[in-house]
Amino acid sequence: MTARSWLVPLALAVVGFVVCFPLAVLIVGSFMGNEELASTLGGVVAPGAGFANAPLVPSRPTLASYVAVLVDTPAYHVLVQNSAIIVVGALAGQAVFATPAAWALARFDFPGKRAVFFLYVLLMMLPFQVVMLPNYLVLNALGINDTLLAVVLPGAFSAFPVFIMHHFFASVPDSLVDAARLDGAGEWRVFWSIGLPLGAPGVFAALVLGFFEYWNAVEQPLAFLKNQALWPLSLFQPALSAETVGTLFAAAVVAAVPAVLVFLMGKDYLEQGIAATTGKDR
């Protein structure tokens, strides 16, 4: 056995442990009572309380933290509702606006096409901090700052889903499109009957990635929403203490469940989307 043959698996195992260990602590801690959490994680939440330890199995499993989050914290339900509105609104906008935009960039030739596509790529690469102020000024001029629409609207017109879908629509065989046009199909008919069915993996890949982005959005709500009653689930921030650690753990686990389900249902589309953006065969 060569050094390389075992070095790569070892490195992957180390990385996997670093990634999975905090998740294991999170899930296990969510089933611990406050007393057990205080004794195991006291060194983290209360400086000077000693070292923290992370048992793999709770000594006295309990659902008290989940009851505290789902029953005794009505504000948590409001946060979930806000997150759902933001995600559904942004993804619906992307499906309506990004899909035909990507088809047009992939299938039509017009003056300035390369410049327009370059602009999409440039906007996609710019960090949020660069576009935050222009977005704020535009949203303020529209009178929708401090509303959920202030987060939904920029997401609906995001450049990233156009980039993802473009690669799939560009791979649609020209022969199918030309045959449909010869049969008298209009451009919208070609788009609905040929483009969308064949480009559906790209559309789903873009929407899955969009779900992750806006379900976990932090910067956009902080920048555009002053009213904390409108904050999404990603900004759930109770005061950290030995008494609230279990609530935080349970809230994080509940918030992760939709993301995990979406990932499991859309992982095949994600793989195809990543392959398309890297230029590899799907």
Higher pLDDT, 272 or 278: 272
Instruction: Write the burial class of residue 9 (CB in 10 Å: 0-12 exposed, 13-18 middle, 19+ buried).
Output: exposed
Residue 258 and residue 267: Cα distance in Å, rounded? 14
Residue with token string 């209009």: 186
pLDDT at residue 228 is higher than 80: yes
Distance between CA atoms of 257 and 231, rounded to whole angstroms? 19
**Residue 59 pLDDT greater than 60, yes or no:** yes
Superfamily of domain 71-278: MetI-like (1.10.3720.10)
Res 221: pLDDT:
93
Spans of all domains in the chain: 3-61, 71-278
Mean pLDDT of the chain: 84
Q: Output the pLDDT for position 47.
A: 53
What type of residue is 208? V
Biggest CA pair distance of the chain: 78
Give the range among 3-12, 45-54, 108-117, 175-184 with minimum mean pLDDT: 45-54
- Determine the Cα–Cα distance for residues 263 and 257; give it in Å rounded to an integer: 10
Listed in sequence order, the residues at least 6 apart from 145 whose beta carbon sits closer than 8 Å to its beta carbon are 136, 139, 224
pLDDT, mean of residues 47-58: 59
Residue 257: per-residue pLDDT: 92
The yes-or-no verdict on residue 209 having pLDDT over 60 is yes
Residue 99: which pLDDT band, with cuts at 50, 70 and 90? Answer: very high
Q: Which pLDDT belongs to residue 153?
A: 94
Q: How many CB atoms lie within 10 A of CB 142?
A: 12
Comparing 30-44, 88-102, 181-195, the range with the smallest average pLDDT is 30-44
pLDDT band at 282 (very low <50, low <70, confident <90, very high): very low
- Listed in sequence order, the residues at least 6 apart from 79 whose beta carbon sits closer than 8 Å to its beta carbon are 231, 232, 233, 235, 236
Locate all alpha helices (DSSP H) within the chain, ordered by sequence.
3-29, 34-45, 64-70, 74-93, 99-107, 113-125, 128-142, 149-156, 160-170, 174-182, 187-190, 196-215, 219-224, 245-277
Q: How far is CA 208 from CA 142, 261, 270, in A?
A: 29, 11, 7
* Nearest partner of 273 among 202, 169, 213, judged by Cα: 202
DSSP at 183: T
CA 230 to mean position of chain CA atoms: 19
